[in-house]
Amino acid sequence: MDFALNDEQREFRDHCRRFAREVIRPVARKHDAEESTPWEVIREARAWGLNGLDHIQRTGQDRDGQLGVIAAEEMHWGCAGIALAVNGSGLAAAGIAASGSPEQIARWVPQCFGSDEEIKLGAYAVTEAQAGSDVKSLRTTAKLDGDEWVLDGTKVFITNGGIADVHVVVATVDSALGHRGQASFVIGKGTPGLEQGKKETKIGIRASHTAEVVLENCRIPAENLLGGMDKLNRKLERARSGQKSGASNALATFEITRPMVGASALGIAQAAYEWTLEYLDGQTIESRPALKEQRIQQVLADVATEIDSARLLVQRASWMGRNGVPMSGGQGSMSKLKAGDVTMWATTTLMDLVGPYAQTADCPLEKWFRDAKIYQLFEGTAQVQRLVISRMQAQEYRERLEWAGELAAGGAPATPVSAAA
C-alpha cells in the first residue's frame, strides 16, 4: 500500500493547478455573474491537454486511477461552474461508451468533443420532472416507425441541454417494464424536433449551462439506438420473461463514476479552506494573530481533517474502480456522499469563521458556498446515496454470513467479493 502520489501524478496536479489559477480563476467571476458558457476556457483547456479525447485517454492510463480525480479537484478549485462546462461532455461520452456498439462509440464519442479548431459539446439527458431519483418512471417515449425512432417528452436540468452537438437521451420503449424497458438514443445536432426549453438560472455552478430539452416528434435513424436492435430485443425479452435484471451492472457503473463527482466537490472545499487560511493569516483579534486563536484553530483543524478524510475515500474508490476491485460496499457512493456533505459543511463553517464579510459578493467564500450545494443534489442526491450504501452494505453482510455458514459446514466456497476486496 502506498499513499504517496508518484512523480507523474504530482506533476499533473501542478499542471492542473496552474491552469486553474492562470486560466480559470481570472474569468470565474465574470462567467458566474453572466451565467455564460466559458468557450474561451474550454478552448484553452484543449490546448493544455485538459479536455477532449486526449485528456480522457491520459487519465484512463493511470494504473492507480488518480489522474482523473486529481484533474477534477484542481479544475473545480479554479471554479466549479467552469470546470463542469469544460468536462461536462464526459457524461454523454460515458453514456455512449456504456451502451454503444464499438462502431457507435467510434462514431459518436469524438463528436462529443470535436476538434481543436471546432469545439463540440455533449449532453446526457435522463432526468424528467417526475423522474430523477425515481428513474424507472421516465415518461419520454421512443417508438419505432419504419426505419426511424420517434422520441417525445421533456427532459429537465440537463447540463449542456439544447446547446450540445450530441444529445444522449434515455427514453422508454416499453413503460410496463420500468427501467428495464428503457433504452439510450443519440441525437445529432440540428435534428428537427429537439429544442432547448427553459434555461435554468441557478444559485451555483452558473457558468455551466443547464436547460430543459424538449422532444416533439423527434425522428432519428434506427441506427441511433445505442447497442442496436438485437441487443434491445434480447433485453426486453429477458425482462418480459421475468429473468434476472442487469440493474446491478448500472449500479456498478455509477459506483465507478461517483469518485469524480466527489473530487469535484472537494476542489471547492479546498479552495475555500486555502483562502480562509490566507485571509485569517492577515487578521488580528485583540492584537493577537487570528491563526493563534485556539477557538479558530479548533475549527480549521476540523475542516482540514474532514476534507482529507473525504479525499481518502475518493482516492480509494477511484483506485478500486481502475483496478477492477468491486465496490460491493458502496465505496464509490460513500466517496461522493462524504465529499458533498463535507463541502457544504466546510463552506458554511468557514463563512461563520470569517463573519459578515463572508456574506458579501466581495468575499470569494460567498461563491464557493453557492457552488457547493449542487454536490448534495445531482448525480444521485445525498439521501439516495445513503440508500444505495445501506442496501449494498446489507447485501455484502448477507454474502459474508452465507460464506461463513458454508465454510463452517466444511465446504470450500469461493471467497465472496466483499472478503476479496
Ligand X SMILES: Cc1cc2nc3c(=O)[nH]c(=O)nc-3n(C[C@H](O)[C@H](O)[C@H](O)COP(=O)(O)OP(=O)(O)OC[C@H]3O[C@@H](n4cnc5c(N)ncnc54)[C@H](O)[C@@H]3O)c2cc1C
Catalytic positions, please?
Answer: 379
Q: Which amino acid is at 251?
A: L
65 vs 267 by CB, closer to ligand X: 267
> What is the DSSP-derived secondary structure letter of residue 328?
T
Query: Up-side HSE of residue 188: CA atoms within 13 Å toward CB?
Result: 11
265 vs 374 by CB, closer to ligand X: 374
127 vs 343 by CB, closer to ligand X: 127
**What's the closest the beta carbon of residue 254 comes to ligand X, in angstroms?**
11
What is the Rg, in whole angstroms, of the alpha carbon atoms belonging to the chain? Answer: 23
89 vs 270 by CB, closer to ligand X: 89
Angle between helices 382-408 and 331-354 (to 10 degrees): 140
127 vs 315 by CB, closer to ligand X: 127
Distance CA 170, CA 151 (A): 10
Nearby residues of 125 by Cβ (< 8 Å), 6 or more positions away: 155, 158, 161, 167, 168, 169, 170, 213
**What's the closest the beta carbon of residue 157 comes to ligand X, in angstroms?**
3
**What's the closest the beta carbon of residue 129 comes to ligand X, in angstroms?**
8
Distance CA 342, CA 311 (A): 10
Where helices occur in 48-116 by DSSP H, the ranges are: 53-61, 67-78, 80-87, 89-99, 102-108
Tell me the three cell numbers of residue 150. 420517434
Where helices occur in 223-323 by DSSP H, the ranges are: 229-240, 247-281, 294-322
**What's the closest the beta carbon of residue 202 comes to ligand X, in angstroms?**
6
75 vs 126 by CB, closer to ligand X: 126
Give the three-class secondary structure for 366.
helix
Contacts with ligand X by CB under 6 A lie at 91, 124-127, 132-134, 157-159, 202, 205, 210, 374, 377-379, 381, 383-384, 387
CA-CA distances (angstroms) from residue 42 to 115, 181, 227, 251, 311? 12, 36, 30, 31, 26
Query: Up-side HSE of residue 337: CA atoms within 13 Å toward CB?
Result: 16
Is the CB of residue 316 less than 8 Å from the CB of residue 334?
Answer: no
